[in-house]
Amino acid sequence: MVFFGWGSRSKTAPLDAGRALVLRYSYFHLFWILRVSWGLRYSLATATEAGWATRPLSDEEAMRLDAPNRLTLNFWWRFGLLLWAAVAAVAIVIGNLTR
C-alpha cells in the first residue's frame, strides 16, 4: 500500500467555444488526504485542427482573464498537510511546556 505520493496535475475551466483556462500545479500527499500544492501556473488552451494548443499566461494575462477567481485550488488541497504539521508542532510544544 502506498502511503505517500507526488506529481503534477491540472484543472481546466472553459472560457468560451474553443478556449479553456488550464491550471497546472505540483503536489505532495500523505494518505491521499493530507496534501500540499505549489507552483500554480496558468495556461490558455486553444482548440486547433490538430488538437489542443497551450501557451503559458503571464501574470498580467492571467489577471485580465480573472484566472484566480475562475480556477483555483481549495485551501485544503493547497495547505492541508502544512496545517496538520502546524497543529502537531503546537501540540508538541504545549505538551512539553505542561510537563
C-alpha to C-alpha distance for 7 and 11, rounded to whole angstroms: 14
Residues in the chain: 99
Cell of 89: 508542532
* pLDDT confidence of residue 1: 53
Read off the pLDDT of residues 33-92 as tens digits, 9 standing for 90 and up: 889 999 999 999 999 999 999 999 999 999 999 998 999 999 999 999 999 999 999 999
Spell out the domain ranges in the chain. Answer: 4-97
* pLDDT confidence of residue 79: 94
If 0-12 CB within 10 Å is exposed, 13-18 middle and 19+ buried, where does residue 97 land?
exposed
**pTM, rounded to two decimals:** 0.81
